[in-house]
Amino acid sequence: MSEIVVSAVSKTWGGVGGVNRISFKADAGTLLVLLGPSGCGKSTTLRLIAGLEEVDSGTITIGGRDVTHLSPAERRISMVFQSYALFPHLNVAENIIFGLRVRGVGRAERDERLKRVADIVGLSHLLDRKPSQLSGGQRQRVALGRAIIAEAPVCLMDEPLSNLDAKLRHEMRTEIRSLQQRLGMTMVYVTHDQTEAMTMADRVILMRDGVIEQNGAPHELYNHPASDFTARFIGTPPMNIISWRDGSLLGVRPEHVSIVESGGVPATVKATEYLGADSIVLCEVEGETMAIRQPGFCQLHAGDKIGLGWQDRHIHLFERTSGKRRDAGAPRH
Amino acid sequence: MVAAVMSAAAPGTARRRTWLTNVNAWLLLLPALVLLAAFTHYPILATLYHSFFSLGRSGPAEFVGLDNYTYMLEDDVFWQVLRNNLFFALATVPTSIALALLMAVWVDRKIAGRTFLRLAFFTPTVLPMIAVANIWLFFYTPDYGLLDQFLKSLGFSGHNWLGDPSTVMNCIAVMVVWKEAGFFMIFYLAALQTIPPELKEAAMVEGASRWYFFRRVTLPLLMPTTLFISINALINSFKLVDQLVIMTKGGPNNASSLLLYYIYEVAFTFWDTTYAATLTVTLITILAAVALTKFVYLDRRIHYQ
pLDDT in tens, A215-228: 999 999 999 999 99
- B186 and B96 in a single domain? The answer is yes
The Cα B275–Cα A101 span in angstroms is: 58
Residues of A in contact with B202 (CB under 8 A): 79, 81, 85, 87, 98, 146
Say whether both B39 and B154 belong to one domain.
no
- Using a CB-CB cut-off of 8 Å, the residues of chain A touching B223 are 89
Q: Is residue B64 part of a domain?
A: no
Q: Does A244 touch chain B (CB under 8 A)?
A: no
Distances in Å between the Cα of A108 and the Cα atoms of A104, A105, A149, A223 are 12, 9, 14, 52
Q: Let me know whether B173 and B82 are in one domain.
A: yes
Residues B160 and B268 in one domain: yes
- Determine, for residues B217 and A102 on separate chains, whether the beta-carbon distance falls below 8 Å: no
Distances from the Cα of A172 to the Cα of A86, A121, A178, angstroms: 18, 10, 10
Cβ atoms of B282 and B207 closer than 8 Å: no
Q: What percent of chain A has pLDDT over 70?
A: 98
Contacts of B201 in chain A (CB under 8 A): 52, 72, 79, 81, 85
- Whether residue B31 lies inside any domain: the answer is yes
Model confidence, pTM? 0.79
A78 strand-pairing partners = A155
Q: What is the C-alpha separation between A221 and A232, in angstroms, rounded?
A: 11
What CA dihedral angle connects B87, B88, B91 and B94, to 10 degrees?
A: -110
Examine the domain organization and report whether B44 and B82 are in the same domain. no
Asked if B205 and A73 count as a contact pair (C-beta separation under 8 A), the reply is yes
Please indicate if any CB of chain B lies within 8 Å of the CB of A87. yes
B220 touches chain A (CB under 8 A): yes
- Residue B266 counted as domain residue: yes
Residues of A in contact with B208 (CB under 8 A): 73, 98-99, 102
CATH code of the domain containing B92: 1.10.3720.10
* Residue A23 to chain B, least CA–CA distance (Å): 23
Cβ neighbours for B241, distance < 8 A, ≥ 6 positions apart = B258, B260, B261, B264
Query: Of B207, B220, B221, which has the smallest distance from its Cβ to A99's Cβ?
Result: B207
B122: closest CA of chain A, how far (Å): 30
Residue B120 resides in a domain: yes
Range with the poorest average pLDDT among A10-19, A243-252, B292-301: B292-301
Domain ranges of chain A: 4-223, 237-326
Domain span at residue B274 reads 71-301
From residue B131, give the alpha-carbon distance in Å to each of B18, B89, B93. 55, 22, 21
Residue B305 contacts A, CB cutoff 8 Å: yes
The residues, any chain, with a CB within 8 Å of residue A215's CB and separated by 6 or more, are A24, A203, A204, A205, A206
- pLDDT score of A332 more than 50: no
What is the number of other CB atoms lying within 10 angstroms of the CB of residue A119?
11
Q: Provide, as residue numbers in chain B, all residues whose Cβ is less than 8 Å from the Cβ of A43.
A: none
Same domain, B20 and B105: no
pLDDT at A331: 47
Residues A183, A175 contacting (CB under 8 angstroms): no
What is the CATH topology of the domain spanning A237-326?
Answer: OB fold (Dihydrolipoamide Acetyltransferase, E2P) (2.40.50)
B278 in the same domain as B195: yes
Task: Please state the φ and ψ torsions of residue B31, each to the nearest 5 degrees.
Answer: -55, -45
In this complex, do A88 and B303 lie within 8 Å of one another by their Cβ atoms?
yes
Give the number of domains in chain B: 2
Give me the residue from A83, A99, A130 closest to B206, CB to CB: A99
Query: What CA–CA distance (Å, rounded) separates B137 from B141?
Result: 6
| pLDDT per position as a tens digit, A256-309 | 999 888 888 899 999 999 998 999 999 998 888 999 999 989 888 888 899 999
pLDDT of residue B241: 81
For chain B (305 residues), the mean pLDDT of every run of 10, in chain order, is 50 84 94 94 90 78 82 87 90 93 88 84 86 86 80 78 81 89 91 92 91 93 90 86 80 83 88 88 90 79 69
Instruction: Sort out which chain B residues have CB atoms less than 8 A from A52's CB and list them.
Output: 201, 204-205
Is there a contact between A150 and B303 if contact means CB atoms under 8 Å apart? Answer: no
Chain centroid to CA A52: 21
Q: Phi then psi for A291, rounded to 5 degrees?
A: -105, 140
How far apart are the C-alpha atoms of B305 and B294, rounded to whole Å? 17
Instruction: Give the chain A residue nearest B223 (alpha carbons).
Output: A89
Whether residues B9 and B157 fall in one domain: no
User: Where does residue A51 fall: left (phi above 0), alpha (psi -120 to 50 degrees), or beta otherwise?
Assistant: left
Asked whether residue B89 is domain-assigned, the answer is yes
Is residue A132 within 8 angstroms of chain B, CB to CB? yes
Dist CA B8 CA A331 (whole Å): 82
CB B167 within 8 A of CB B139: no
Domain A4-223: give its CATH code.
Answer: 3.40.50.300
CB contact under 8 A, A73 and B220: no
Pairwise CA distance, residues A156 & A31, whole Å: 10
Stretch A99-118: mean pLDDT, rounded? 92
Q: What is the DSSP string of A60-79?
A: EEETTEE-TTS-TGGGTEEE
Residue A5: predicted pLDDT: 95
* pLDDT average, residue stretch A170-177: 90
Q: Are residues B45 and B75 in the same domain?
A: no
